[in-house]
Structure formats: structure tokens, C-alpha cells
Amino acid sequence: MTAQRLQVESLKKDRGFSYPIVFERDFAHLSTEINSLKRKGRKICVVTDTHVAPFYLEAVKKALEEAGQTVTSYILPAGEAHKNLEEVQGIYEHLIQEHFDRKDMLAALGGGVVGDMTGFAAATYLRGIDFIQIPTTLLAQVDSSIGGKTGVDFKQYKNMVGAFHQPRLVYMNVAVLKTLPEKEFSCGIGEILKHGYIRDKEYSRWLDEHREDILNRSQDICREMIWRSCMIKKTVVENDPTEQGERAVLNMGHTIGHAVEKLKNFTMLHGECVSVGCAASAYLSMKKGYLTKEEYVHIKDQLRSFRLPVTVKGLQTKEILSATKSDKKMENGKIKFVLMDSFGHAVIDNNISDQELSEAIGTILEEEDT
Ligand SMILES: NC(=O)c1ccc[n+]([C@@H]2O[C@H](COP(=O)([O-])OP(=O)(O)OC[C@H]3O[C@@H](n4cnc5c(N)ncnc54)[C@H](O)[C@@H]3O)[C@@H](O)[C@H]2O)c1
Ligand SMILES: [Zn+2]
């Protein structure tokens, strides 16, 4: 049985500030959680998107009103294509019209796109107001709602403009996963399998054991899975809140993954690209002698068994290599590549040659049918 809540310690410069992640099966306890933030009589704006609003906006507004909040809402168009400064301006305008001041709050109700945009609006409106996260995708529950990274895309550059801004509360209602489209669910699984590879071999084994229940979205199993993934993300971000070092291990599968995502014009989901990137990273880890061939094959089989791709069609090694090298996570012109130095333990390697990288990229390319 997993605990009901986790506490995430935040930046030291925030004077020991910490926030809870609570695990629930409905929105019934949201008002109690809000009450404990001691904002009675203040305003709160629920920011959500066009897909999520019809399912959950009313229930969330009701819970917040019960907590004595004056509630407004702002609905963004759904999707990554709208994760930009223009849409954030819409949030600012709403807050100005509704006379939001420094003590009022935002609530992000949605996936990672809504969470990142709402967090960014909160970080910048009046030089920073509080916000809470109510993540509704699996990816947002295990990844984007924790750790305080917020931001938007700028032109073709993903997450290029942003701020670190920690939420005051992460309210995880696992029941919302029942309306999540299948592909979006797999997308979150990509990050979850990655958590096993970077920090916890036993978790990786547990995921295999419970594959059927996970894919059938059994609430109890999903809750335990989300809790375990949150534990891993929490531990990593607490050790390195602003990504000076260790936090970069969370980027396993993302260096090549982002390149693929961009070259495929975002037609593949993020988690799918991360899966392909993890397969490439596992290959390089094997070539370096850190993983056995069996472990490499096992990782690819595991990704596939969770309905994730390990190869892509229609791309060339050269273009992936060059897109990989233009990733913003470079340091002094070197790629910070995340490898496993053993199954379940990731390390950063700054010394991967172009030749090694090209060879790894070769293993994820599918031949086109002629
Ligand atoms: N801040 C971070 O640390 C961090 C980490 C990882 C990813 N991200 C960001 O997260 C974003 C991806 O997030 P995402 O995968 O959650 O995508 P998303 O927010 O676009 O949500 C995916 C789709 O599912 C819909 N949806 C959400 N919840 C639903 C529900 N319960 N039922 C039905 N439909 C629902 C959304 O409207 C959307 O159409 C990217 O922009 C990425 O950069 C941020
Ligand atoms: Zn990711």
C-alpha cells in the first residue's frame, strides 16, 4: 500500500519551501487541500483546455468554491501548437480584467501543456503569483507537474522561454486517466519506463509484472505506479532543483528523442520519441560495455510490450545527428548524453563521438519499403 501524499522539498533560496503531492481517486478532497493553503476569500483562476474542460472543469470549480475561493476559469485551445506566448497573453488579460493581485492563485487543470503555460503565467504575472497543479494526463502526473519547470515554445524552439516556479500543491486524481486517449496514455508510459532505467531496476521489473493491469488502467496499480514514478522524479529534482547536474539524468532518451520529435514535425508523441531515444541510449550503453546484450534486448522488448516504438521511419542518420547537436541541452558544444552505467542507473556522458552517435542512430532507423 502506498502513502497518500509525498512532500517535495524545494530550492534552498526559497527558504525551505516545500509542497505536497496528494494522491486521490476524485476531487472530493481538493477543498480541504486548498483550505490548508490558507487563502480563504481569495481568487483562483482555473486554467484548462478545450478537451479537459467538458470533463472536469465543473467538478474542480465546485470543490474550489467549497473552499471559499472566488473562482474564474480560462480555457486554452488544446495542444502543443498553442503552447506559445500569444496564448499566455490571453491568460494575463483575463487576470487583469478579473483584478487578480499578488495573493490570488492559478490552478492548472490539464496535461503538460496546460501545466507549463499556467505555471509560466503564474511565474511572470505581477512578478510571480502562486499556482497549483491538477494534472490530468499520465505524463503530467508522473513528470511535468513536479519539479517547477514552466514555459512555452518560441517559434520552432520547444520550451525555449520559461522559468522555474514551484507549485504550492500537486493534486493527483488518478480517476481522470479513464478519459485519456490511448495514445496519450502510452506517452506517459514512455517516461515511466525511463524512470526504471535511470533509477530503479526493481521498479522496471515491477512494471513488467503488472503490464496487463497497467495497460488496462487498473486504478490501484496505476496509483502505485504513479506514486513510484513520482518518488523517483521527486528525489532527482530535490537533489538538483535547477538542473546543474543530476537532474539531467531525467533527459535519458530525450536528446535523440527531441531530434526525432522535431524532424517528424511533432506527428509522433513525445513519449514515443522518448521510447525511441531510450532504445538508442540502451544501445550505446551496451557498446560501452555497461549493459549486456540481453539487457539491451530486454529494454527494447519492454518498450514494445508497452506499445511504444523503438524505431522510426523516413529519417536519415545525418539529419538526426545534426538535430541532436542543436539541442539546447548542449554544454560548451558537447552533447550531454544520458547512458546507463548499469541497468537501473543512469549517468551523464559528455564524450560520445559523432561516430558512436551515428551508429546508435542507425539502430533506430527503419528501412523504407520500396
Ligand atoms: N515541465 C516539465 O518538467 C515537463 C516535463 C515533461 C513534459 N513537459 C511538457 O508537457 C507537454 C506534454 O504534456 P502532455 O503529454 O500531458 O500533453 P497535453 O497537455 O497536450 O495533453 C495531451 C492531450 O490530452 C488531452 N487531455 C488531457 N487530460 C485528459 C483527460 N484526462 N481526458 C481526456 N483528454 C485529456 C489534452 O487536452 C491534450 O489534447 C509538452 O509541452 C512538454 O514539453 C513538461
Ligand atoms: Zn519527456
pLDDT digits (tens, 9 = 90+) for 239-290: 887 777 888 999 999 999 999 999 998 889 999 999 999 999 999 999 999 9
Closest CA to 249 of 198, 325, 193: 198
- pTM score, two decimals? 0.94
Element housing 171 (H / E): strand 170-173
The residue to mutate among 46, 109, 113, 141, having the most atoms of ligand 1 within 8 angstroms of its beta carbon, is 113
Each residue's pLDDT tens digit, 25-48: 999 999 999 999 888 889 999 999
- Asked whether residue 208 falls in the same domain as residue 342, the answer is yes
Residue 94 has pLDDT above 70, yes or no: yes
In this prediction, residues 135-149 reach a mean pLDDT of 96
Instruction: Identify the domain boundary among 159, 179, 199.
Output: 179
- Asked whether residue 63 falls in the same domain as residue 79, the answer is yes
CATH code (residue 273): 1.20.1090.10
Q: What percent of the chain has pLDDT over 90?
A: 82
Backbone angles phi, psi at 19, to 5 degrees: -135, 150
- Asked whether residue 277 falls in the same domain as residue 191, the answer is yes
- Gap between the Cα atoms of 317 and 51, Å rounded: 37
Provide residues with CB under 6 Å of ligand 1.
49, 51-52, 55, 78-80, 83, 110-114, 116, 136-137, 139-140, 143-144, 147, 149, 159, 176, 179-180, 184, 187, 270
- Asked whether residue 158 falls in the same domain as residue 52, the answer is yes
Which ligand is the nearest neighbour of the Cα of 192?
2
Instruction: Identify the domain boundary among 179, 197, 216.
Output: 179
DSSP 147: S
CATH code (residue 113): 3.40.50.1970
- Asked whether residue 91 falls in the same domain as residue 130, the answer is yes
- Asked whether residue 45 falls in the same domain as residue 143, the answer is yes
Backbone angles phi, psi at 297, to 5 degrees: -65, -40
The residue to mutate among 56, 157, 184, 266, having the most atoms of ligand 1 within 8 angstroms of its beta carbon, is 184
Helix (H, G, I), strand (E, B) or coil at 215: helix
Instruction: Identify the domain boundary among 146, 179, 212.
Output: 179
- Asked whether residue 169 falls in the same domain as residue 241, the answer is no
- Asked whether residue 175 falls in the same domain as residue 225, the answer is no
- Gap between the Cα atoms of 83 and 114, Å rounded: 8
Question: How far is ligand 1, taken at its centre, from the CA of residue 14, in Å?
Answer: 27
- Asked whether residue 168 falls in the same domain as residue 211, the answer is no
- Asked whether residue 11 falls in the same domain as residue 32, the answer is yes
The residue to mutate among 60, 144, 237, having the most atoms of ligand 1 within 8 angstroms of its beta carbon, is 144
Residue 200 has pLDDT above 80, yes or no: yes
Q: pLDDT at position 1, please?
A: 45
Maximum CA pair distance of the chain?
Answer: 66
> What angle (nearest 5°) sits at the alpha carbon of residue 327, between those of residues 271 and 268?
30
Backbone angles phi, psi at 194, to 5 degrees: -55, -40
- Asked whether residue 127 falls in the same domain as residue 230, the answer is no
Return the number of other C-beta atoms located less than 10 Å from residue 292's C-beta.
11
- Asked whether residue 205 falls in the same domain as residue 159, the answer is no
Q: Are 105 and 129 in contact (CB under 8 A)?
A: yes
Q: Please give the grid coordinates belonging to residue 176.
A: 481522470
Lowest mean pLDDT among 6-15, 132-141, 191-200, 350-359: 6-15
Number of domains present in the structure of the chain = 2
Question: How far is ligand 2, taken at its centre, from the CA of residue 271, in Å?
Answer: 6
Residue 310 has pLDDT above 60, yes or no: yes
Host domain of residue 344:
182-366
Return the number of other C-beta atoms located less than 10 Å from residue 23's C-beta.
21
Q: Is 266 exposed, middle or buried (0-12, 13-18, 19+ CB in 10 A)?
A: middle
